[in-house]
Amino acid sequence: MNKLEQLKSMTTVVADTGDIRSIAQYQPQDATTNPSLLLKAAQDDHFRPFLDQALEQAQSNTRDSDAQRITRAADQFAVLMGAEIAKLVPGVVSTEVDARLSFSTPETVNKALNLVEAYDRLGLGTDRILIKIAATWEGIQAAKILEAQGIHCNLTLLFGFGQAQACADAGVFLISPFVGRILDWYKQNTNIEIIDPLDDPGVQSVTRIFNYYKTHGYRTVVMGASFRNQGQIEALAGCDRLTISPDLLAALQDDSGALTRKLDAASAVSDAPKQSPFEASFRYDLNADAMATDKLSDGIRRFIADQEKLEQLIKSC
């Protein structure tokens, strides 16, 4: 077996792309998208019919303002792309809530319910989708509300251990800790040199979270994300799920070497006590972690920028 096949035997592989052709090629279990990936898809002529359909549906609501129609079209484009991807994967598709709502619990809940309703109109129930939300305090509380209604969530832009603790305590279905962006921060702000992938701070972060969850019996799924190289992926073999870009899926598929399991729920050990964070302690711990604070803020800004670019593209159609 090549390394991709070996990885699939111990970890659920998720495609980190909005490119339907790549998903068809690598046959992952699940798929996940975000505003950046959707913007890239919207600029591809192959997916233009989805964009046109989204805009047509949004314009049919004459009660909306122009700005509301553009936002609605962007949401509908995300749902149409997600529904098309769902035809190619047997599992779930993650669709992201507008990052501009990251600091409003009620608005995040409302947007999530709208996305669920839009999927339902296309024949996809909550068993096939995950609502993707930034792991701010407000986002985590929104996810807690949604999970209580049977709507599963994927908490993204997760960089700090405190974020992971709060997500598990809230009963979130899945988290997406960002491996590569953690490494990016350390490379930019320290003199770190990585000799072994196991010394990578992003790998260590996911490993710590995985061991904490398994030691304390949390059911929240850990899905490592945002990989910069193949070594990071191999160092997390055995994690619940890993979401991987097409270029790294190709590299794994072309590698016939042996892949060793690195994470195992049965032998997981954590020295961190089980905690139920309160808002004040969550914000204090996040503020104390410069890397997590910087990357969470940066990630939200980037997703907002790409969301606005997507809306500008739709407006120009």
Give the residue carrying structure tokens 């979130």. Answer: 172
Written as one letter, the residue type at 303 is: F
For 57-115, the pLDDT digits (tens) are 888 776 778 888 999 999 999 999 999 999 999 999 999 999 999 999 999 999 999 99
| Two tokens, residue 233 | 């992926």
On the CB side of 300, how many CA atoms lie within 13 Å of its CA?
Answer: 18
Active site residue 214: no
**Average pLDDT, stretch 295-310?**
96
Give the Cα separation of 273 and 109 in Å (integer): 31
Q: What amino acid occupies position 177?
A: P
- Rounded CA gap, 97 and 196, in Å? 36
Contact 192, 239 (CB under 8 A): no
Segment 226-233 shows an average pLDDT of 97
Say whether pLDDT at 36 is over 90.
no
Q: State phi, psi for 223 to the nearest 5 degrees.
A: -125, 100
Which pLDDT band, with edges at 50, 70 and 90, does 317 fall under?
A: confident
The domains of the chain are located at: 3-316
Q: How confident is the model at residue 298 (pLDDT cuts 50, 70, 90)?
A: very high
What does the CA dihedral 150, 307, 121, 50 come to, rounded to 10 degrees?
-140
CATH fold of 3-316 reads: TIM Barrel (3.20.20)
Whether 15 and 26 have beta carbons less than 8 Å apart is answered as: yes
CB 239 within 8 A of CB 224: yes
Give the CA distances from residue 156 to residues 55, 65, 164, 290, in Å, rounded to whole numbers and listed in that order.
Answer: 27, 30, 10, 18
Question: What percent of the chain has a predicted confidence (pLDDT) above 90?
Answer: 85
Give the predicted TM-score (pTM) of the model: 0.94
Residue 175: which H helix or E strand, with range? Answer: strand 174-177
Segment 150-203, tens digit of pLDDT? 999 999 999 999 999 999 999 999 999 999 999 999 999 999 999 999 999 999
Separation between Cα atoms, residue 294 and residue 290, nearest integer Å: 6
Q: What is the pLDDT of residue 60?
A: 78
Least-confidence region, from 24-33, 231-240, 266-275, 279-288: 24-33
Q: Which of 132, 214, 262, 295 is catalytic?
A: 132
Q: Say what the pLDDT of residue 58 is.
A: 84
Measured distance CA(317)–CA(314) in Å, rounded: 5
